[in-house]
Each structure stands twice: as C-alpha cells, then as structure tokens.
Structure 1
C-alpha cells in the first residue's frame, strides 16, 4: 500500500507532499518507509501522486458548510428568508463551521479553522480545483473519505496519538526546537517507520512534517481505523466533507 499525505497551502509554495510505502518484512511484521518527500508542490504533482497512491489524506477542507450556499444565494437574489435564518452569532456559526468541525471539537477539544470565515478559504478553493482535476482523470472522490481521498487534520491526529503538537509551527528557534522534539517523539512511538534519511528536512519544516502525519492518517483511513460519520452526520459528510480522526494508536497502523 502507498499512502499520500498533502499539507495544502494556497499556492505551490509551502505545499508539502509525503508518500509512505507499507509492507511486511521477512518476519511478517508491518513496516513502512517514507518513499517520497517534497516541498513547493504544484497541482499537477499532487494529481500524479494521487494516481500512484492507494489513499490520499489532504490537510485542507474538501467542502463548505451546507448552510452557506442558500445564505449566499439569498443575499445575491435579495431574498431575505434564507439570510435572516442566520441572524445572530449562533446562526453565523452554522455558516462558518461544518458538522465535521463541530464533531472534531467534541472529540478532541481542537477547533478547526473556518473554511468560510478564515484564511483557510483560499487553500480550500485550490483544493476544490485539485478535486476537479482528480475527478477528470480518476473519477470523482466522495468528500466523506469513502473513496481514495480523505480530509485529515494533523493536529488532531497528533493529539489522539498522545504527541504534543502545540507550538511547533513557525520559523523561530523555539518552534524549530519543539518540532525537533516532536519528530523524535514520533520516531520513538513508530519504530517501524523508516524516514529514509529525511530527518533533517522534517526537523526544519513543519509543512513537511504535517505531510508525513497526513500520510500516516491516510493509512488509518485506508484500514478503516478512523471515526466515521454516523447516520446523523452522514448526509452532511458527503457534501461538506469529513475530517478523519484516527481510532487507533500509531502502533495499530502497520498491522
């Protein structure tokens, strides 16, 4: 199995991709090797890597809140009712956050950035274009992650795996030090993962590190070891997207 993890930015710069190959060693034990690691990745490279991978985890929203479309259409057409439904802060939260965002917060305590009311909207627009390019070559991928593309959230994966993923993003010396500590903790908890000499690159780039975590989470998705939407969330997951949270520890990935 090959899993692709993509830490998606608004443009190629700071977009990272990581491919992990999973296999059994001569003793029948599960192992994994970081087979590809790249920074400043463009759309075409992502689509190509998707084509050679069994499962892709993308760190970016793959859809928008269902409530947002009628709200914007009502505003455009000067129809008051669908706009006034979202009067007040509670109503506006339905426009800013998806079902999966609220589910993620309930499970982990983390609050994902809003795809419609934060800077995350720009990468999400790029993600929509990439999804269309993938669909043209490989067929449409369900936004709930039931196909070969799934939305992931590295910060949540790290927290579930018991790794301290706070304060490692940035270019300062403190952030770099924390990233190095986090990388070492990952290596200790996942001795079956061969980073193939990329340790220095990973310790110097939170984007590359997040891509690796996204690829690890993609493995959990492929093995059906993530929290799936129940009946109450299933419809929204198909249209808005679904953040796949691991339901197993790191030790459960190579099995």
Structure 2
C-alpha cells in the first residue's frame, strides 16, 4: 500500500509532501519533500492509493450562504450579531466536532489566514476532479482532510508548540513518540529533515493518518453528518489512544 500525506500551504515553498509505502512488514518513508507545486500534488494523488491533506476542504454552509446573500443585499437581519451567530459563520461542523472530541479548535477557514491554503486546495480539487479523481470531501474517495495536531493528541504525543525553527527539540520528541507508536516505521534517512522542518513532519503525520484510514483505524463523519461533510469537508481523526 502506498499512501501520501500533504501539508498544504498557500505557497509551494512551505508545502510538504510525504510518500509512505507499507509492504506488509514495514512502513517506509519513500520520499519527503518540502517545496511542492500543484502539479506534484496532483500527480502524486493520482499515483497512490490514498492521500491525507492538511487543509480545509470547504467552508461552513452558513458562511457560504451569508456571503452570497450579503453580496446580493438579501441577507435577512439576524436577531443578534453575537458570538453564537458569528461562530456558525466561522466554524464548520467538523471543526466543532473536533473541538468536542479533543479540546482543539481548528483554524477558521472563514476568518483566518488558513483560507489561503484552502483557496489553493479548491483549485487543486477542481483539477483532480477534471481528471476523474474522486475528491469527495467526506473522505470516501481518494483524499481525506486531516489535522496533524489532533492526530498527535489522539496518539498521546506533544501536539502544540512544535512549529518554527526554534522548536527542533519538540519535533525530535514527536519523532521518538511516532517511532514507538509505529514500531515498523522506517525514517529512511529523512529524520534530519523532519527535525529541521515542521512542514515535513506534518506531511508525514498526514501520511500516517491516511495509512490508518485505509486500515480502518480512524473516525470519519458520522452518518448524520455525511451530507454536510460532502460540502464542508471532514477532519478524520485516529481512534482514541490509551492516554
């Protein structure tokens, strides 16, 4: 089984991509690259069994309606513009469910800079769809939305404060924990890159989640949210770890 993990940034220079190969006895890092253009992402998704992508796949349905109605000047006056109303515009159903399950709140694709990578993914998704690749946003096709911080939390590993050039020691701790969690994982010479670059680490985490999805070891959208997930996207979480 060959799977892929993508840490999608707005610009290629900060985009990481990891290829993992499971031969039944070992999970080996086939390649890890930082500085990935759209064509590379598209070609890889077409070439592997499954891909986990760290980026929002869609926007909250209330936000999409809000933008359209506001543009047409047909927005019904809300009873209040308080926190509850704003939260429905800012957070997708999956964001709220991740918070309920882990205590972590994903960045708002409506109100945060994470929208820029999401714009890029929307373009990549369109190109993949044009190539007849199943890019269902609920994870039932060739791709799934993942969230490395939540995956680390579920695996009982450090899940905050590991980004940036000064946090190499924490990334080393995470690597050690991943080796314990996945004893057949072969870093294949990429350990130094992972310690040096958090985009590489997030790509590998995304790849490991995609591997676990294929093995039936992750939680996708509940039946009641399947229709919503097809529109907004859905973050897949590893099954709970004994913390």
Same fold (TM over 0.5): yes
SS at match of 1:245: strand
Q: Does 1:13 align with 2:13?
A: yes
SS at match of 1:3: strand
Superposition deviation, residue 221 in structure 1: 1.5
Q: Could you tell me which residue of structure 2 aligns to residue 203 of structure 1?
A: 195
On the 8 A contact 1:131/1:140 being kept in 2, the answer is no
Return the alpha-carbon distance in structure 1 between the equivalents of residues 54 and 186 of structure 2: 22
Q: Does 1:135 align with 2:129?
A: yes
Q: Could you tell me which residue of structure 2 aligns to residue 108 of structure 1?
A: 102
May I ask how many residue pairs the two structures share in their alignment? 242
Deviations 1:170-221 (A, max 9, x none): 112xx11111122122223322001111111111111100100000000122
Superposition deviation, residue 84 in structure 1: 2.4
Superposition deviation, residue 248 in structure 1: 5.8
Give 1:74-113 correspondences, 5 Å limit.
74-81=69-76, 84=78, 87-113=81-107
Superposition deviation, residue 147 in structure 1: 0.5
Q: Does 1:232 align with 2:219?
A: no
Moved more, 84-93 or 101-110: 84-93
Q: Does 1:192 align with 2:184?
A: yes
Name the TM-score, length of structure 1 as normaliser: 0.91
Return the alpha-carbon distance in structure 2 between the equivalents of residues 120 and 150 of structure 1: 17
User: What stretches of structure 1 move > 4 A for 4+ residues in a row?
Assistant: none
Deviations 1:79-100 (A, max 9, x none): 131x626732211111110000
Question: What value does the CA root-mean-square deviation take over the aligned residues?
Answer: 1.5
Give 1:151-162 correspondences, 5 Å limit.
151-162=145-156
Superposition deviation, residue 225 in structure 1: 2.0
Return the alpha-carbon distance in structure 2 between the equivalents of residues 150 and 228 of structure 1: 9
SS at match of 2:153: helix
SS at match of 1:146: coil
Q: Could you tell me which residue of structure 1 aligns to residue 143 of structure 2?
A: 149
Superposition deviation, residue 140 in structure 1: 3.9
Give 5+ residue unaligned stretches, structure 2.
Answer: none
1:65 counterpart (60, 65, 68): 60
1:45 counterpart (31, 40, 44): 40
Give 5+ residue unaligned stretches, structure 1.
Answer: 25-29, 251-255
Return the alpha-carbon distance in structure 2 between the equivalents of residues 70 and 167 of structure 1: 35
Return the alpha-carbon distance in structure 2 between the equivalents of residues 94 and 212 of structure 1: 32
SS at match of 1:221: helix
